[in-house]
């Protein structure tokens, strides 16, 4: 059976139709698409570390790290390399295949980037995939990250273009698209998604998904975050989103972007095990693992291991990216053996 072809021409109306399907029909469809390309019982896990915390110049209405809001967050300067590598090593020992480093910057300066490049190289040398999220990038900065060997850049669209102005005023939706284009043009894998539960409508969720799915190439990774409500931020106190609406959005992301890793991202601490199980059934196959996100809590590793046991899920130990790299170096080795006169296997 041929896998569902990738499309980049979704209309918002078609996506709203999917979001409106009876729940069982939607989940059946999403799970069917999921099984065409993925092992349904394997989940990719990444661990996050905030490498520079707080005092951010942006005004993202959900964020604990904006200098504009009084959130009682302790600020931290850029962490020393050694501390970052120790955290990456610990994440690797617990089973994470990817290490994501986040910085509370509007955009990195070139000297910031010099320090981050050392971190990327150090984490890569530990045998892990690397991801960073540093804010807006210029084309030249994206090129520096590519040269450093960066695997993924996370930069979220966050919400629909229509709702965007209700959440952020210090940078535009278009700025975000431009950063994604710089990252993509360097051949770095794109991680981009958004946040649900900020008071947006179903139409906004459809519109955000249309923006993601109609990018020239689907993001390799699509994080879907549930708003973590932080006291002191403008979005604190927003009416909670129905968890089944969150599951629906995950299912539609899976249908629209069949080849992408859809990440059940922030908000799991406040979610029941049953909601998380439905997210996996809807096609989520990636998550953050480790007891901390950037500045807020994530479930304890032991709790996730127990949930995986109950659901019969496994960690994806070797990601697609590592498997491809291994295949390439096998080919290279067998090519070298052939050149040296040895028989390839
Ligand atoms: N400062 C950089 C930026 O904004 O691009 C990188 C770090 S920022 C914290 C990364 C993403 O985390 C945001 O774009 C947003 O989607 C998500 N995020 C931040 N705070 C959140 C919250 N309270 N709840 C859910 N997601 C959140
Ligand atoms: C993403 O989409 N979610 C992560 C990661 N990308 C960088 C961040 C979630 C942050 C949640 C709030 C906090 O811990 O500060
Ligand atoms: Fe700053 Fe990123 Fe938080 Fe926005 S989401 S305030 S850019 S750290």
pLDDT value at residue 142:
96
Catalytic residue among 191, 205, 248, 254: 191
**What confidence category does residue 332 fall into, taking pLDDT thresholds of 50, 70 and 90?**
low
Ligand nearest to the CA of 230: 1
| Substitution site in 156, 182, 263 for ligand 1 pocket (most atoms within 8 Å of beta carbon) | 156
pLDDT value at residue 93:
84
**How far are the Cα atoms of 6, 39, 146, 299 from residue 130, in angstroms, in the given order?**
26, 23, 11, 22
- Of 69-83, 135-149, 220-234, 246-260, minimum mean pLDDT range: 69-83
Q: Is 263 a catalytic residue?
A: yes
Please tell me if the CB atom of residue 133 comes closer than 6 angstroms to any atom of ligand 2: yes
**Burial of 61 by CB count in 10 Å (0-12 exposed, 13-18 middle, 19+ buried)?**
buried
CA of 241 to the centre of ligand 1 (A): 18
Please tell me if the CB atom of residue 235 comes closer than 6 angstroms to any atom of ligand 2: no
Give 217-228 pLDDT, tens digit per residue.
999 999 999 999
Is residue 333 predicted with pLDDT exceeding 80? no
Q: Is 279 a catalytic residue?
A: no
Q: Average pLDDT, stretch 185-210?
A: 97
CA of 262 to the centre of ligand 3 (A): 22
Of 77, 80, 125, 73, the residue nearest 99 (C-alpha): 125
More confident site: 149 or 192: 192
Atom of ligand 3 nearest to the CA of 171: 7
Strands (E), 67-118: 98-103
Ligand nearest to the CA of 53: 3
Please tell me if the CB atom of residue 56 comes closer than 6 angstroms to any atom of ligand 3: yes
Residues with C-beta less than 6 Å from any ligand 1 atom: 62-63, 102, 104-105, 133, 135, 155-156, 158, 195, 225, 227-228, 230, 266, 294
Q: Is 60 a catalytic residue?
A: yes
pTM given for the model:
0.90
Please tell me if the CB atom of residue 290 comes closer than 6 angstroms to any atom of ligand 2: no
Reduced to 3 states (helix: H, G, I; strand: E, B; else coil), residue 221 is strand
pLDDT value at residue 291:
85
CA of 106 to the centre of ligand 1 (A): 11
CA of 63 to the centre of ligand 2 (A): 9
Q: Is 328 a catalytic residue?
A: no
Please tell me if the CB atom of residue 58 comes closer than 6 angstroms to any atom of ligand 3: yes
Q: Is 100 a catalytic residue?
A: yes
Give 77-88 pLDDT, tens digit per residue.
999 999 999 999
Q: Average pLDDT, stretch 312-328?
A: 65
Give 258-267 pLDDT, tens digit per residue.
999 999 999 9
């Amino acid at each position: 059976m041929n896998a569902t072809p990738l499309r980049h021409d979704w209309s918002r109306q078609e996506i709203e139709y999917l979001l409106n399907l009876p729940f069982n029909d939607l989940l059946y469809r999403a799970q069917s698409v999921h099984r065409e390309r993925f092992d349904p019982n394997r989940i990719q896990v990444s661990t996050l570390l905030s490498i520079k915390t707080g005092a951010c110049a942006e005004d993202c209405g959900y964020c604990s790290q904006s200098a504009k809001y009084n959130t009682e967050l302790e600020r931290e300067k850029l962490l020393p390399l050694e501390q970052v590598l120790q955290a990456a090593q610990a994440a690797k020992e617990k089973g994470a295949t990817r290490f994501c480093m986040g910085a509370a910057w509007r955009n990195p300066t070139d000297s910031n980037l010099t320090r981050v490049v050392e971190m990327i190289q150090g984490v890569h040398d530990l045998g892990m995939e690397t991801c960073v999220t540093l804010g807006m990038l210029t084309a030249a900065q994206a090129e520096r990250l590519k040269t450093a060997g960066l695997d993924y850049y996370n930069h979220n669209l966050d919400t629909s273009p229509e709702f965007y102005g209700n959440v952020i005023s210090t940078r535009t939706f278009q700025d975000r698209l431009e950063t994604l284009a710089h990252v993509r043009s360097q051949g770095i894998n794109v991680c981009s998604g958004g946040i649900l539960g900020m008071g947006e409508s179903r139409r906004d969720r459809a519109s955000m998904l249309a923006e993601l799915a109609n990018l020239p190439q689907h993001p390799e990774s699509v994080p879907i975050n549930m708003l973590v409500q932080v006291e002191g931020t403008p979005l604190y106190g927003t009416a909670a989103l129905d968890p089944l609406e969150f599951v629906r959005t995950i299912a539609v992301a899976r249908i629209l972007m069949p080849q992408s890793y859809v990440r059940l991202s922030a908000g799991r601490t406040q979610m029941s095990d049953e909601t998380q199980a439905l997210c996996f059934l809807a096609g989520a196959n990636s998550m953050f693992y480790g007891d901390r996100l950037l500045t807020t809590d994530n479930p304890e590793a032991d709790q996730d291991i127990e949930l995986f046991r109950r659901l019969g899920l496994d960690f994806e130990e070797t990601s697609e990216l590592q498997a491809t790299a291994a295949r390439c170096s096998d080919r290279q080795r067998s090519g070298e053996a052939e050149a040296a006169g040895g028989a390839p296997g």
